[in-house]
Amino acid sequence: MKYLSIILLVLMSCNLSDSIQNCKGVSTSFIPLADFKNDTFNNYNGGKYPNGQNAIPLAHYKKGIQLSNAIFPIDINGHIDSINGKIGFMILGFSTAAMTGNVFKLICTMKDLDPHLTIGIGAQGGMDINAMLDEGSGYWRKAILDLSNAGLSNAQIQLIWISTGDMQSASLEFPKQSIALADKYHTLLLMIKQKYPNIKIVFLSDRTFAGYIDNNGPQLLAEPTAYYTSWAVKFLIERQLQSLTDYTYSDIPFIDWGPMLWTNGETGDSYNYKWDCDDAAKGGIHPTAKGRSKEAIRLYNFFSNHPYTKQWFTSPQSQAN
């Protein structure tokens, strides 16, 4: 709560106003993936991983640790430089990822992180996964500029976090919609491997609860499409776990769950994480200052505690103590 208060004060001091809609008491009948237990959804088992499990499968976990241990500060050409090198952490996705990512980056400036860790925001408003897959959309040209402004080159990116949506597949039913997004994520991962040759780990998150989207917001991104992104991430990771053709560790970057963003509105999940009415701004798609802070703190707590990344979110001096 301390960080939430700090960030809210910072945002308000920047004159960021939010127009909150009247949306009290909104939730759905959907169950967050991590809460499924013995339940199913359209005959599919829940859980973040196969067989209804939420713990990272051991072999996958060991691979993630191996890759994490291979992350070092590198220079703009990708060569190890323990003095002046950087560990590039890039945020990709659409507007909500950019908004949350910028507050996350602000939180990181308040913390005692490894001085080599450098965060670049490549996520962009109005650009869903289809724009990311279109080389002519300008998405990647802007991403290069954003990295440059952060003092990073493509060769220095070793960690990526992504959260995005898919407006083109919104008319599809489940599971086709989730499968379509998983397929597009695969294409995106192939692009990432080419653009960022030193990438080690890509974290994928679902979308924020979209039950507050009204006539002023993008209908194609309303529920249940946000909920279906949870399943898309699950399906995608399961393909790598199963070593399917074109999904192995040598085919695409190593992938795993980022922080789970979808929760059942004001009902929340079993961990009491909720997305309240005043977390959503007018239109329902973008977070308010409170919502951005809530998600950014969730990101920070995730990455500062995850075994793949926690060492980079603590300074070497703190680790020594």
Q: Which domains does the chain have, with CATH numbers?
A: 2-12+30-315 (3.40.50.1110)
Query: Which whole number is the average pLDDT over 95-117?
Result: 95
Q: What is the pLDDT of residue 16?
A: 47
Q: pLDDT by residue (tens digit) across 214-271?
A: 888 889 999 999 999 999 999 999 999 999 999 999 999 999 999 999 999 999 999 9
Question: How far apart are the C-alpha atoms of 235 and 206, rounded to whole Å?
Answer: 12
Q: What is the pLDDT of residue 15?
A: 43
The mean pLDDT of the chain is 92
Q: Are 255 and 189 in contact (CB under 8 A)?
A: yes
Q: Are 78 and 198 in contact (CB under 8 A)?
A: yes
Q: Residue 76: is its pLDDT beyond 90?
A: yes
Q: pLDDT by residue (tens digit) across 151-166?
A: 999 999 999 999 999 9
Question: How far apart are the C-alpha atoms of 321 and 318, rounded to whole Å?
Answer: 5
Query: Which whole number is the average pLDDT over 4-16?
Result: 52
- Band the pLDDT of 203: cuts 50, 70, 90: very high
Query: Which whole number is the average pLDDT over 187-198?
Result: 99
Q: Are 127 and 137 in contact (CB under 8 A)?
A: yes
Q: Which residues sit opposite 201 in a β-bridge?
A: 159, 254
Q: Are 212 and 26 in contact (CB under 8 A)?
A: yes
If one counts every other C-beta atom within 10 angstroms of the C-beta of residue 64, the result is: 20
Q: What is the pLDDT of residue 62?
A: 99
Report how far apart, in Å, the C-alpha atoms of 253 and of each of 33, 134, 159, 193, 195 are. 24, 20, 10, 6, 12
Helix (H), strand (E) at residue 93: strand 87-93
CB burial of 87-105 (b: ≥16 within 10 Å; e: otherwise) equals bbbbbbbbbbbbbbbbbbb
Q: What is the pLDDT of residue 117?
A: 97
Q: Which residue has the higher pLDDT, 217 or 55?
A: 55
Question: Is the pTM higher than 0.85?
Answer: yes
- Band the pLDDT of 80: cuts 50, 70, 90: very high
The DSSP annotation for 275-288 comes to --GGGBBTTSSSB-
- Band the pLDDT of 13: cuts 50, 70, 90: very low
Q: What is the pLDDT of residue 217?
A: 84
Question: How far apart are the C-alpha atoms of 147 and 298, rounded to whole Å?
Answer: 23
Q: What is the pLDDT of residue 112?
A: 87
Report how far apart, in Å, the C-alpha atoms of 168 and of each of 87, 178, 207, 222, 301 are. 34, 12, 16, 13, 32
Which of these, 60, 119, 61, 113, lies nearest to 92 by C-alpha position?
A: 119
Question: How far apart are the C-alpha atoms of 153 and 312, rounded to whole Å?
Answer: 19
Q: pLDDT by residue (tens digit) across 303-320?
A: 999 999 999 987 765 555
- Contacts of 29-35 with C-beta under 8 Å, sequence gap 24+, read 30/223, 30/224, 30/227, 30/264, 31/264, 32/230, 32/260, 32/262, 32/263, 32/264, 32/269, 32/270, 33/206, 33/230, 33/231, 33/234, 33/260, 33/262, 34/260, 34/269, 34/270, 34/271, 35/269, 35/270
Query: Which whole number is the average pLDDT over 200-212?
Result: 97
Q: Residue 1: is its pLDDT beyond 90?
A: no
